[in-house]
Amino acid sequence: MALSDVDRNLLERCLTRQPHAWEDFVDRFTGLVVHVINHSAQSRSIRIVREDFEDLAGEVFLTVLRDDFAILRRFRGQSSLATYLTVVARRVVVRELLARKQATSLAASHPVAQTETEARIQDREEVDRLLEDLEPGEAHIVRLFHLDGLSYHEISQSTGINENSIGPLLARAREKMRRAGEAVG
């Protein structure tokens, strides 16, 4: 199936950064991304919760955004945009699921010799230190999600940020925090 006029138009709008193009893109393909996440997790017998869905979807959309839409710029229109995005999403989701599964296996095989309370305090101190490297708006969203436990919907209601933008924003903030943590460690 070739590229439809609707998708060609949407692609062009995204690549030229027209107003609301990204929101339209996310609205159009969120269902497809969720389906890929579901299918990928089920086929690998990996159980995921709502937050995992949101994180994985955010990671897929962040991958599309990365490097000025490099993924979309490489699309040649030899298939439908949905088919192309399915392949992209599957690669991102499988990579993330396998990394999470491996991290869980490593954590289970190497128990830490400290109390849960000590670990939580150290984690909180580390998170507070890493949050200082973020822009105030990003840090606020990270606090709401990771420290206050609010859902994407609740964060959207509280901040006025589009709910579909929360996941990508969190993914970018986590990446900044990860880089800052690696620079220190």
- CA 86 – CA 40 distance, rounded (Å): 11
Average pLDDT over residues 101-128: 56
Residue 2 has, within 13 A of its CA and on its CB side, a CA count of 1
Q: What is the pLDDT of residue 173?
A: 82
Which contiguous run of DSSP H or E holds residue 135? none
Question: Per-residue pLDDT tens for 90-108?
Answer: 999 988 888 877 766 655 5
**Is residue 36 a contact partner of residue 93, using CB atoms and an 8 Å limit?**
yes
According to the model, what pLDDT value does residue 119 have?
A: 47
pTM, to two decimals:
0.57
Spell out the domains of the chain, with CATH numbers in brackets. Answer: 5-109 (1.10.1740.10), 116-184 (1.10.10.10)
The percentage of the chain sitting over the pLDDT mark of 70, rounded to a whole number, equals 79
CA distance 126 to 120: 10
Amino acid at 137: G
pLDDT digits (tens, 9 = 90+) for 9-63: 999 999 999 999 999 999 999 999 999 999 988 888 888 888 888 899 999 999 9
- Say which residues have a Cβ less than 8 Å from residue 109's Cβ, sequence separation at least 6: none
Q: What is the pLDDT of residue 140?
A: 85
CB 129 within 8 A of CB 181: no
- Residue pair 44/97 in contact by the 8 Å Cβ criterion: yes
- What pLDDT is stored for residue 183 in this prediction? 63
Contact 25, 17 (CB under 8 A): no
- Report phi then psi at 44, rounded to 5: -110, 10
Helix (H) or strand (E) holding 86: helix 81-109
Distance CA 141, CA 144 (A): 5
Checking if the pLDDT of 184 tops 60, the result is no
Looking up tokens 């969720």, which residue turns up? 34
Is the C-alpha dihedral spanning 179, 57, 50, 139 positive or negative? Answer: positive
Nearest alpha carbon to residue 84 among 71, 94, 96: 71
- At a CB cut-off of 8 Å and minimum separation 6, what does 54 contact? 152, 166, 167
